[in-house]
Chains A and B, each alone.
Chain A
Amino acid sequence: MATRGEPAPAVPARRTLDPTLDQGVAGAPVGGHAGGLASLSPRAAASAPWIKRRATREAVAGYLFASPWLIGFFGLLCFPLVLSLYYSFTNYSLLGKTRFVGLANYSALLHDPLVAKGAVNTVWMVAVGLPVGLIVGLILALFMDLQVKGTSLYRTLLYVPAATPVVAGSLLWVWVLNGQGGLLNDILNLLGLGGPNWLGTPQWSKPSIVIMTTWASVGPTTLILVAGLRNIPVHLYEAAVLDGAGRIRRFVHVTVPMLSPTLFFLIVTGLIAGFQVFTQAYVATGGGPVNSTLFYVYYLFNVGFGDFRMGYASALAWVLFIVVILITGIQFWYSKKWVHYDQ
């Protein structure tokens, strides 16, 4: 970094025990310890009582500053996580007595047809929703990368859905997708195309949820892809042009490989989010019609907070957790074959 003539980054003085950094801006010694420590060995310097006191005070201050986060992390994340693992081996119901049931919950979910239904619906959402979101995001990112007039405005507008609360956005889509008087079907009718009963039939309910989730996520996806596109060195395109590559070849052989780390990030995070799809179905369809939008997490929620079978819900949650971890691990392993980090 320094070889490029950039100034060296400033080192925060109070985060080191280097005595020279306790000097003033002019480099003059400040205070009674100035110069004194320079003659001590590092071990002796570290064991000096006043340094120990100061280090302790700083440590206490640091932990106190971090305490809101630490309390949240351990109290609201780690503790419930471990507790849910324990509950997954019990019949915990919040209201009744808790009894250890061993692997009964895990055995039961293997035979629960609604678990299978929820899993199939969720896999459908991931298999269709994730590619759709990425393709739409990539197309928009390519347009945004053209740097036409008003790009910053388009970027802001694109991000508005992501800043809209999911429930509010879902309610908006309930109106847009209304079969009889919805905006989308009104537009389709004007074009002479009879729109379907979006949220009212099993055939169209999941595509409707894909539209809703894509709308909500396309802003961040596009912005991340735009950042990725702008990191691609121009000389690679210039070299490709000299080699006679057309637009499509440049996209396939330069853009996509150079964008692969960004795509990999979006696939990993999108897949995790896809497995947790819930709010849109909860608000817009209630899991229906005929369980066609009963996603895995929705069923988990119903079991836990509807039936109060918290033990069973915990088992469902842990199975999902393990599946997501496994799939993410496979993605990382496979990424070596298609993700290029070299610039």
Chain B
Amino acid sequence: MYKAVAKARRRHHLALAIGGATVSCILAACGSGASSSAGGSSGKVTVTVWADTGVGPTGAGPAPAGYKAITAAFEKANPKIQIAWRNYSPKQDPSSYQTLLTAVAGGHGPDVAAIDRFLTYEFAQKGAIQPIQPYLSSNSPVYAETKKIPGASFEQTVGGKLYGVTFPWQAVGFWSLCYNKSMFAKANLRPPTTWSQVTADAKALTKTKNGRYTQLGYEPYPIDDTEMWYYSQNNPIPLVSDGGNKANLTNADAVRAVKQFVAVMDAEGGYAKVSKFANPTSTLPSQDPFYTGKAAMDACGDWYLQTIAQYYPKLPVGVVPLPNVDGGKSYGWAGGWSFQIVKGAAHAKQAAKFMQYLMTKPATEKFEAAYTAYNQKHHLPNVIIGAVTFMYPDIVRHDMSSLRQTSPDLYQAVNHFLSVPQTYSGVNARPHTVAAGELFTDFNNAGIAAALHEGSPAAELGKQNTLLQGSINGDKG
């Protein structure tokens, strides 16, 4: 009796152990989440696209409505291709790039990913993305349309090959100066055209009560982007030279730019206090004093208008070219994002087909129709802005009359970006370097350290220049 029980118990234990081991192996095998696509018995191919909420249909608002429309139109025209969007947010969380690169390295990356265009060179050097060129015909419209967008052709071409596409609805930057019209009118001031005027106006428009700010004259740009502020003012500052291999943060123009930033911050009471009020570590519009009507000036780009239209349509915003040293014509600086085919994409050919479609005029018109319908339904100002202003300006002008009536401030602001080719003396793109991310972080760190008076602008730029050179050398090694 006992033997039988003991035997049964042993078998039971063995079965449990084998079962447990099997389950644990299965669980371990199921650990990785990212997957690319599946063919399936229907022969349908799924192209996976990782993009931000504003660059895909995964969020709410007019842009996702537009993305949904063009995705549906593409899938209808190409029944064997399905587009699967997945939200990832490098704009909010830079570690998203690490997620992307790790997925690519592990062979579980998407087919397409949206990245900030200035990283194209770095990602191409790392071998994380592949050129779109082999999948395009020589007369593809992608080439011609890319050339229309300032800076895009340079940033997306590496080693003579085109990488990715800039979507018409992507912001292109063209850094400008946004200002609060009411605050300027109340102080009887006109928008500044030189940086010395910015310093004086920042001081005049900064107000405090019981030692605390109630209004800031000039708001430093959030996160690690104040460098664009310096960069824009004296473009083209050669922050790297020798084909991106030599850090050049210590050049005279860069030193002058940081000095200018320090002067503005000091005029407002010092960077420590200003940053406490402006909360530059947050990109949330609700925590941004310019959007919430508590700051008079801010360096801005075309995407500001989309945010204002959606969340702060009553904000009396005005936009003028970025001031420069002598008050002459500004030299523009453009940025923006692009879609890239990642290394090892399972369906690169189909991905390229979709990306090419995104740049066409029919797709842009479909996007515009859905975008406008959303805004009308929600009674929002219909601000159409981005690369489309350079590619298809007629589509932008199509609905300007209604914007003029509903929101004259935003109408003027959109016009500012439409007239960029006339108002700016030139445009510059961000440089090719293997340490693109570090370039902007290091330049920004020099500005903050100098503004906190930890050292002179030249000394702080010198320190950061050493770090940048180390990053360039390390990435190359």
A residues near B, CB below 8 A?
24, 30-32, 57, 60-61, 64-65, 67-68, 71-72, 91, 93-96, 104, 108, 112-114, 174, 178-180, 194, 196-197, 199-202, 282, 285-286, 288-291, 303, 305-309, 312
Contact = CB atoms under 8 A, between A and B. Distances in A.
Contacts of A57: 10, 14
B126 A93 contact: yes
Nearest to A64: B17
A174 B287 CA distance: 13
B387 interface: no
B18 to A, nearest CB: 6
Interface residues on B, range: 35 or more
A179 B279 contact: yes
Contacts of A199: 281
Main secondary structure of the interface of A (DSSP, over half): loop
25 contacts: A30-B2, A32-B3, A57-B10, A64-B14, A67-B17, A67-B20, A91-B477, A94-B105, A96-B127, A112-B470, A113-B467, A114-B470, A196-B272, A197-B276, A200-B281, A286-B281, A288-B281, A290-B445, A290-B449, A290-B452, A303-B474, A305-B98, A306-B97, A307-B474, A312-B474
A180 B279 contact: yes
A32 B3 CA distance: 9
Contacts of B471: 307
B92 to A, nearest CB: 12
A308 B105 contact: yes
Contact of B466 (A113, A282, A291): A113
Contact of B273 (A68, A91, A197): A197
Contacts of A307: 471, 474-475
6 tightest CB-CB pairs across the interface, nearest first? A179-B276, A64-B17, A197-B276, A94-B105, A68-B24, A95-B127
A180 B277 contact: yes
Contacts of A112: 470, 474
A196 B452 CA distance: 14
Nearest to B475: A307
Given A114-B467, A202-B452, A307-B474, A64 B281 contact: no
B112 interface: no
A169 B281 CA distance: 18
B454 interface: yes
Given A196-B276, A308-B101, 18 more contacts: A32-B3, A64-B17, A64-B21, A65-B17, A71-B24, A71-B25, A71-B28, A94-B105, A95-B127, A179-B277, A196-B272, A200-B280, A288-B445, A289-B275, A290-B445, A290-B449, A291-B445, A305-B102
A196 B277 CA distance: 11
A31 B3 contact: yes
B97 A64 contact: no
A57 B437 CA distance: 58
Interface string B396-429: 0000000000000000000000000000000000
B241 to A, nearest CB: 21
Given A61-B17, A64-B17, A194 B211 contact: yes
Contacts of A288: 224, 281, 445, 448
B122 to A, nearest CB: 9
B24 A201 contact: no
B24 A95 contact: no
A192 to B, nearest CB: 11
Interface string B269-294: 00011011101110000000000000
Contact of B474 (A196, A200, A291, A309): A309
A307 to B, nearest CB: 6
A84 to B, nearest CB: 15
Contacts of B279: 178-180, 200
A200 B275 contact: yes
Contacts of A312: 474
Nearest to A65: B17
B181 interface: no
Nearest to A179: B276
B13 interface: yes
